[in-house]
């Protein structure tokens, strides 16, 4: 038997009425479900079947939720499940495991092809942290063949067969909670000690299989992504209408994240980047404390996360509402590069086709502006890739091979000319990035974030209002 272990995390998406369509959720205060557009148990079950089809004979894939991470003293970070666990189960709670068996196996007297291990309900703990699912409800809510409480699991003989047992490495070794005898570390210990062979470096098969599954978005996933992207575009437009000199970077962050929460996004998909002036040339700037000047550009790189799926949309805005001549020259060069990249987002094209097209435009443009002497110097001012997959992670799982129908990728060229760069000082502190979320179809690419203005004229017109 071959066991592949993957560390993961998840989100709880249950169905409570058997007579409702699979995609419907009802308002259920008792179980903490308040949304009608969550992914269905049928979606997650079908995804487990797709993974099972890839497993070798006598294979078992074992997934762990993300560990709870401590922020400081007795305060933990807000919990966020690992996307793979969510993708396969729908569970949002920590300290759980999922087993997917290639062939049905006997577990605690029942023949099953999958097992979800969750924490047992504890009324005393629920007073502090709210209601948990527990094994009885988990089986019905998530549509798994068997759900088992952690305490019972620790005393259950696991159905290992003869042969090699291979584990993928854990992303983080789970910390042992001294106040719990059934936390993630205890569950992992039971698996570790019961396996015929100790864990070793497993092949990357499981990661590749999950990347193959996740990179092609199903219709239900695209619905949630469109929602996340729509919220993010609305936030960008609200920022355009409110931005003015003497505003701080953190005030611009407050504007966009207010729109996120107002429209139902649970989280930001990543820390909001609001880099003004010199900070527009810092790729992943997140301090967001500087006061913005009238002549600054603001790079706003943001993404709302909705039911696990995140957007990633960047706009570069003139703080006073009007691009200067030099700012406009750089901006329109980046926009032309982005348009060239988007045209290459077609099924069958190489993943890097968009980057190569955008880079060629920027290299020639920088030479024409006299900023570089030859096109080989382009990486000095455009030093990152143009695209990444988008979905449950902002840099989502994918194979990075040829583009497939159903992929969603970003196209985000940029030019960043920091102070003291070896060019005319007139260009210093001009940083521009334009990023959109593009769906690969059977024909022309679809810009899912195209509702947020991205031309100079459209941005200035909205800001003038």
CATH for 406: 3.90.230.10
Tell which wins on pLDDT, 36 or 333.
333
Domain boundary among 186, 212, 238: 212
Per-residue pLDDT at 56: 86
Per-residue pLDDT at 167: 53
CATH number of domain containing 51 = 3.40.350.10
Per-residue HEC secondary structure of 48-75 comes to: HHHHHHHCCCCEEEEEECCCCCEEECCE
208 has pLDDT over 80 = yes
Per-residue pLDDT at 465: 85
5 has pLDDT over 70 = no
Q: Tell me how crowded residue 173 is: count the other CB atoms within 10 A of its CB.
A: 12
Per-residue pLDDT at 30: 62
Per-residue pLDDT at 206: 87
In 3D space, the residue among 118, 96, 117, 100 whose CA is nearest the CA of residue 45 turns out to be 100
Residues 30 and 73 in one domain: yes
How, if at all, do strands 110-118 and 147-149 pair? parallel
Per-residue pLDDT at 252: 98
Average pLDDT, the chain: 89
Domain boundary among 181, 212, 243: 212
Q: Tell me what the mean pLDDT of segment 414-431 comes to.
A: 98
170 has pLDDT over 70 = no
pLDDT band at 29 (very low <50, low <70, confident <90, very high): low
Q: Tell me how crowded residue 463 is: count the other CB atoms within 10 A of its CB.
A: 20
Per-residue pLDDT at 177: 74
Residues 237 and 120 in one domain: no
Residues 283 and 148 in one domain: no
Calculate ∠ Cα 459-460-465, nearest 5°: 100
Asked if 276 and 298 count as a contact pair (C-beta separation under 8 A), the reply is yes
What is the value of pTM for the model shown?
Answer: 0.91
Q: Tell me what the mean pLDDT of segment 138-150 comes to.
A: 92
Structural domains in the chain (count): 2
Q: Tell me what the mean pLDDT of segment 141-152 comes to.
A: 93
* CA–CA dist 96, 187 (Å, integer): 8
Per-residue pLDDT at 197: 59
72 has pLDDT over 50 = yes
Percentage of the chain surpassing pLDDT 90?
72
Q: Tell me what the mean pLDDT of segment 306-325 comes to.
A: 98
Residues 164 and 230 in one domain: no
136-158: string of b/e by CB count within 10 Å (b at 16+)?
ebbbebbbbbbbbbbeebeebeb
107 has pLDDT over 90 = yes
How, if at all, do strands 436-439 and 408-411 pair? antiparallel
Asked if 116 and 147 count as a contact pair (C-beta separation under 8 A), the reply is yes
Residues 160 and 293 in one domain: no
* CA–CA dist 421, 380 (Å, integer): 9
Range with the poorest average pLDDT among 125-129, 264-268, 402-406: 125-129
> Which residues constitute the domain of residue 27?
2-212
Domain boundary among 183, 212, 241: 212
Per-residue HEC secondary structure of 179-204 comes to: CCCCCHHHHHHHHHHHCCCCCCECCC
31 has pLDDT over 90 = no
438 has pLDDT over 50 = yes
Q: Tell me what the mean pLDDT of segment 391-411 comes to.
A: 98
Q: Tell me what the mean pLDDT of segment 215-221 comes to.
A: 98
Residues 19 and 78 in one domain: yes
Asked if 87 and 213 count as a contact pair (C-beta separation under 8 A), the reply is yes
Residues 53 and 155 in one domain: yes
Range with the poorest average pLDDT among 43-47, 61-65, 238-242, 425-429: 61-65
286 has pLDDT over 50 = yes
In 3D space, the residue among 351, 364, 274, 374 whose CA is nearest the CA of residue 315 turns out to be 274
Question: Which among 29-38, 177-186, 350-359 has the top mean pLDDT?
Answer: 350-359
Range with the poorest average pLDDT among 106-110, 298-302, 313-317: 106-110
Percentage of the chain surpassing pLDDT 70?
88
Residues 54 and 105 in one domain: yes
Q: Tell me what the mean pLDDT of segment 81-91 comes to.
A: 94
Range with the poorest average pLDDT among 134-143, 320-329, 370-379, 431-440: 134-143
Residue 304, φ and ψ in degrees, nearest 5 = -80, 145
Per-residue pLDDT at 28: 63
Residues 387 and 260 in one domain: yes
Residues 376 and 416 in one domain: yes
Residue 41: C-alpha distances to residues 11, 51, 394, 461 (Å): 12, 15, 24, 45
Residues 252 and 197 in one domain: no
191 has pLDDT over 80 = yes
Residues 282 and 161 in one domain: no
Per-residue pLDDT at 357: 98
Each residue's pLDDT tens digit, 288-298: 999 999 999 99
Q: Tell me what the mean pLDDT of segment 389-414 comes to.
A: 98
Question: Which among 1-10, 116-125, 387-396 has the top mean pLDDT?
Answer: 387-396
In 3D space, the residue among 286, 238, 231 whose CA is nearest the CA of residue 262 turns out to be 231
């Amino acid at each position: 038997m071959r066991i592949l272990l993957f560390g993961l995390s998840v989100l709880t998406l249950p169905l409570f009425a058997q007579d409702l369509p699979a995609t419907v959720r009802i308002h259920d205060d008792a179980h903490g479900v308040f949304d009608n557009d969550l992914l269905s148990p049928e979606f997650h079950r079908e995804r487990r079947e797709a993974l099972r089809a890839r497993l070798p004979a006598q294979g078992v894939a074992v997934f762990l939720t993300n560990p709870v991470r401590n922020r400081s003293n007795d305060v933990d970070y807000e919990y966020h499940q690992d996307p793979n666990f969510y993708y396969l189960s729908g569970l949002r709670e920590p300290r759980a495991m999922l087993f997917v068996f290639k062939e049905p196996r006997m577990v605690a007297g029942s023949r099953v092809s999958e097992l979800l291990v969750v924490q047992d309900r504890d009324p005393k703990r629920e007073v502090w942290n709210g209601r948990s699912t527990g094994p009885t409800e988990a089986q019905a809510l998530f549509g798994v063949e068997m759900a088992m409480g952690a305490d019972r699991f620790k005393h259950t003989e696991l159905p290992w067969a003869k042969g090699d047992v291979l584990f993928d490495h854990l992303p983080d070794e789970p910390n042992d909670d001294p106040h719990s005898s059934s936390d993630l570390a205890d569950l992992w210990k039971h698996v570790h000690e019961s396996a015929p062979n100790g864990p070793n470096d497993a092949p990357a098969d499981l990661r590749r299989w999950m990347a193959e599954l996740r990179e092609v978005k199903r219709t239900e996933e695209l619905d949630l992504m469109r929602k996340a992207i729509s919220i993010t575009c609305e936030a960008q437009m609200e920022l355009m209408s409110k931005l003015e000199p003497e505003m701080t970077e953190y005030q611009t962050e407050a504007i966009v994240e207010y729109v996120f929460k107002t429209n139902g996004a649970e989280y930001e998909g990543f820390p909001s980047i609001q880099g003004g002036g010199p900070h527009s040339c810092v790729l992943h700037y997140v301090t967001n404390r500087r006061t913005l000047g009238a002549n600054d550009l603001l790079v706003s790189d943001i993404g709302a996360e909705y039911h696990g799926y995140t957007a990633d949309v960047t706009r570069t805005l003139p703080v006073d509402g009007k691009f200067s001549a030099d700012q406009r020259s750089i901006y329109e060069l980046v926009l032309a590069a982005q348009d060239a990249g988007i045209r290459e987002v077609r099924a069958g094209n190489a993943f890097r086709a968009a980057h190569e097209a955008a880079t060629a435009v920027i290299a020639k443009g920088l030479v024409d502006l006299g900023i570089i002497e030859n096109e080989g110097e382009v990486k000095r001012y455009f030093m990152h890739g143009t695209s990444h997959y988008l979905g449950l992670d902002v840099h989502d799982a994918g194979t990075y091979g040829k583009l497939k129908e159903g992929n969603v990728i970003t196209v985000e060229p940029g030019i960043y000319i920091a102070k003291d760069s070896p060019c005319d000082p007139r260009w210093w502190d001009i940083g521009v990035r334009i990023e959109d979320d593009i769906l690969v179809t059977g024909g022309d690419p679809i810009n899912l974030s195209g509702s947020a203005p991205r031309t100079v004229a459209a941005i200035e017109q909205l800001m003038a209002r």
